[in-house]
Structure 1
Amino acid sequence: MLPGAMGSRLVPGLVVLLVMGGYGQEHGPVWLLEPPARLVFSNSTGARVSCAAHGSPPPALAWQLPDGAPLHDVPGLRQVLDNGTLVFPAFPAARYRQDVHGAVYRCRASSAHGAVLSRDMRVLAVIWQEWSVRVTSSRAQAGAPAVLTCGVPSALRDHCSVAAWYRDDAVLVASADDLAGPILLVDSGWRLILRSVRLEDARAQFACSVLDTLTGERRRSAPLQLEVTPSSGPSAPRTLLHTPWEASVRRGADTVLPCLVHADPPPVVT
């Protein structure tokens, strides 16, 4: 077959493909933005979440329950907007409703060419409570490690993070690559380890600050002064923690499990 003839046979096929896949072709809904799998917010701030999809013709967006029942407004507690946004206004603790603030929702995009459902979104509204930050530490011995713990009420721990540790007015910085440095932050920053306490550390004031990720509020603890005793001279190795060390870590992430022992002379840890 001549090249010209082959070319004349390919061109019509190319034209057909352009027509089939060109601009203006109708198709069913495709997600542009799915809601998150989990929406956690404070009752003092409220929250809003959106879903978006494209298609030709443009799909209609609606929120529904897992059983397919359509979602309706609940005055003052839940509002369903036509643009695919679901609004949870701030509300007083007395108006908490499990079927609104502790429920599972889905977004649905539909058109004449079909419908798609989003992943389940579990909503959890957290009731704001008065809270404070506190630093605790056991008695430390000069030359031995010391562990300082930054604490908040257990109900807040899941949505709080340690923003900083302080020695007097200076922010303590521990490099993640320097595990042999003078300080070590472990347990996602909730615990600060001083590798070798000095007598002058008793004159310093240690504090931590915590960020509530739901409200954006940041609070700092009252300062703590370490109780440091002088070294007692030669001693056999002894552990500084008498309970198991527990740590939570995401799959694929790194974690640090410190071995906190003291002896004079310093022990060899294997």
Structure 2
Amino acid sequence: MNWKAEAKGKSFYFLITLTLCVSTTATEVSNYFDTQGPSFSLEPPSRIEFLNTVGNTVSCIAHGNPVPIVQWLDKENNPITSISKVQHIFTNGSLHFPPFAAEEFRQDVHWAIYRCSASNSVGTIISRDVVVKAVVYQHYEPEVQNPGGFIGSNVLIKCNIPSFVKEYVTVTSWLQEPNFNIYPSLEGDGKNHMLPTGELLLYNITRDDSQKIYRCRTHHKLTQDSKVSSNVGKIQLTEMRELVPPIMNEKKMSLLARVGDPLVLACVAYANPKPTYRWHITRSSNEESMQHMIATGRAKIKDGTLIISAITKSDDGVFYCTVTNSEGSETLEVKLSVSSPLSAILQPRVQTVNLGQTADLICSTSGFPKQQVLWFKDGKTLRSGARVRHLSTEHIRITSIVKEDKGMYQCILKNDLESSQCSAELRLGEVAPQLLYKFIEQTMQPGPSVSLKCSASGNPTPKIVWHLDGFPLPNNDRLMIGQYVTTFGDVISHVNISAVKSEDGGEYECKATSRAGAVTHSARLNIYGMPYIRHMPKISAVAGKVFTLKCPVAGYPIENVFIEKDGIRLPSNM
């Protein structure tokens, strides 16, 4: 097939060799736009504790499409960076604290709250708070007390742990020398009862009990070391026959227990004669009395010790033990706070809403105590207003949806012990691409530079491709294509041509495409110069279908363009 272009009385013939032109398939376009908001496949734990001599690494892994960028933030949501010998951020997103000397301790780094964020083009999510606490090792020695008591009374022996390590050290067992081990249990063996809290309770002591000696064995959860007290404890038996009203070393206690855990509350007083014990409870709700707990077998009282097999939420309250003998009475007050693990589920996890419509997000929470339910959008506090309303602490409604509403939403449930979060993605209903800006036809002399611009919006964000006279743009060093997406999801694309030549002229077309549709715009770029016909690839046609040919001609002005087939000018008939 021959093409012919004429200018100022001269004719130019070009023989075009045609090759196959391959177009992008619908499947490839669909995959390009198949996005997914970030979610954590490995969220860091609520608390990280480690020894300064060991260090630690905290991992944070997220997935999504495109692959999310993981970043660590401080308590004020400012990005943190690596600090030589103190804090490193690995390329895989892990936060590393190398071992350090005691004098290198930094409170802003080693005793701080962090968050992990994951971001991609859909939006941003943040992890729960991560409390990091580096502990400088200090030598400690457990010490056993020497309590006093009367024959027939109960005695509580304590293992004192220094306050600077008490948070990390637990009493695991007691040793009645030479080789009798006593371990924690609900009821003990009748004489010896090691409480889950670590104390050793001896019932109905005798003169023989005062001859026995005891040591406590402890475990440090960070060093994993076990240590036995170097001193021994021994009951100081009181031989006096004088009468003594009940005396307690501690009259008020506060305990924290989780739902399902057992609970043992020892009520011990120094008294003569041997006292009697009475337990009662006050709660915010009158769901169950102490008598009912005992009658149903959920609780029992053993010589003044209250034993509950499994804590329930209703046990949150104040327990009282009143100790009485002929000389008087004394009361122990135990405030019990009951908790259960926090959990948040945000529904629907993914929803698609058209512009102008309404979206509801419901955060179903469990666990207690729950002190705060916080809402975030793309990692920042969600601002309420005329369109974004809190119907309750756990229900958000967004009316008259606009483009800026799409993204990642989170509800974060917090209390003094922990936090939990869940995320959901709000997508906009598909909107066919629309051109916001279109380049215009231009006529110019060769030499200067020129820039052609198209801008488009839509959902999903469209992709802009360029053609010249219906074919891909030629590949040369003077022509550059740039494309980027704004924060509002609009795509902007430029074609920049430096030092234009007449052969750069022709009909330029920008085409904005997404799975929701496509829109095109075309206009001519006229460059003064002699006629020029560009090479074009081979074109395939299907019999019985409409086939369109556009002559890729440049130069300006062009008076006539002819298409010939087998030496005959087309069209031969209409």
- Could you say which TM-score interval applies, normalised by the shorter chain? 0.7 to 0.9
Which residue is 2:144 aligned to? 135
Deviation at residue 87 of structure 1 after TM alignment? 1.0
1:164 aligned to which of 151, 155, 173: 173
Which residue is 1:111 aligned to? 120
Where 1:202 maps in the other structure, the secondary structure is helix
Deviation at residue 257 of structure 1 after TM alignment? 3.0
Change (3 A) 1:250 1:227: closer
Which residue is 1:183 aligned to? 192
For 2:250, give the aligned amino acid: T
Residue 95 (str. 1) matches residue 99 (str. 2)? no
For 1:215, give the aligned amino acid: T
TM-score normalised by the chain length of structure 1: 0.79
Which residue is 2:381 aligned to? none
Residue pair 1:61, 1:82 contacting (<8 A) in 2 also: no
Residue pair 2:44, 2:58 contacting (<8 A) in 1 also: yes
1:173 aligned to which of 165, 183, 187: 183
Residue pair 1:201, 1:228 contacting (<8 A) in 2 also: no
Residue pair 1:205, 1:224 contacting (<8 A) in 2 also: yes
1:150 aligned to which of 153, 159, 178: 159
Higher strand share: 2
Which residue is 2:333 aligned to? none
Counterparts of 1:125 and 1:135 in 2: how far apart (Å)?
28
Computing the radius of gyration from Cα coordinates, the structure with the larger value is 2
Change (3 A) 1:245 1:206: farther
Counterparts of 2:205 and 2:184 in 1: how far apart (Å)?
16
Change (3 A) 1:204 1:179: closer
Residue pair 2:173, 2:184 contacting (<8 A) in 1 also: no
Which residue is 1:259 aligned to? 267
Counterparts of 1:101 and 1:207 in 2: how far apart (Å)?
35
Residue 77 (str. 1) matches residue 86 (str. 2)? yes
For 1:121, give the aligned amino acid: V
Residue 248 (str. 1) matches residue 236 (str. 2)? no
Where 2:158 maps in the other structure, the secondary structure is strand
TM-score normalised by the chain length of structure 2: 0.39
* Percent of aligned pairs sharing the same letter: 28
For 2:225, give the aligned amino acid: E
Counterparts of 1:97 and 1:230 in 2: how far apart (Å)?
52
1:192 aligned to which of 186, 196, 200: 200
Change (3 A) 1:211 1:180: closer
Deviation at residue 25 of structure 1 after TM alignment? 4.4
Change (3 A) 1:238 1:258: farther
Which residue is 1:19 aligned to? none
Where 1:119 maps in the other structure, the secondary structure is coil
Residue pair 1:199, 1:228 contacting (<8 A) in 2 also: no
1:209 aligned to which of 205, 213, 217: 217
Alignment of 1:57-68 (within 5 A): 57-68=66-77
Change (3 A) 1:171 1:69: same
For 1:246, give the aligned amino acid: M
Counterparts of 2:134 and 2:161 in 1: how far apart (Å)?
19
Deviation at residue 201 of structure 1 after TM alignment? 2.2
Deviation at residue 217 of structure 1 after TM alignment? 1.9
2:49 aligned to which of 37, 40, 43: 40
Deviations 1:98-134 (A, max 9, x none): 2211222111111222221112222222221121111
Residue pair 1:237, 1:267 contacting (<8 A) in 2 also: no
Where 1:100 maps in the other structure, the secondary structure is helix
Counterparts of 1:131 and 1:211 in 2: how far apart (Å)?
11
Counterparts of 1:94 and 1:174 in 2: how far apart (Å)?
39
Counterparts of 1:210 and 1:221 in 2: how far apart (Å)?
8
Counterparts of 1:202 and 1:157 in 2: how far apart (Å)?
28
Higher helix share: 1
Counterparts of 1:227 and 1:130 in 2: how far apart (Å)?
28
Q: Which runs of 5+ in 2 are unaligned?
A: 1-30, 279-574
Superposition RMSD in Å: 2.6
For 1:229, give the aligned amino acid: L
Alignment of 1:9-20 (within 5 A): none
Counterparts of 1:160 and 1:242 in 2: how far apart (Å)?
23
For 1:67, give the aligned amino acid: E
Residue pair 2:246, 2:272 contacting (<8 A) in 1 also: no
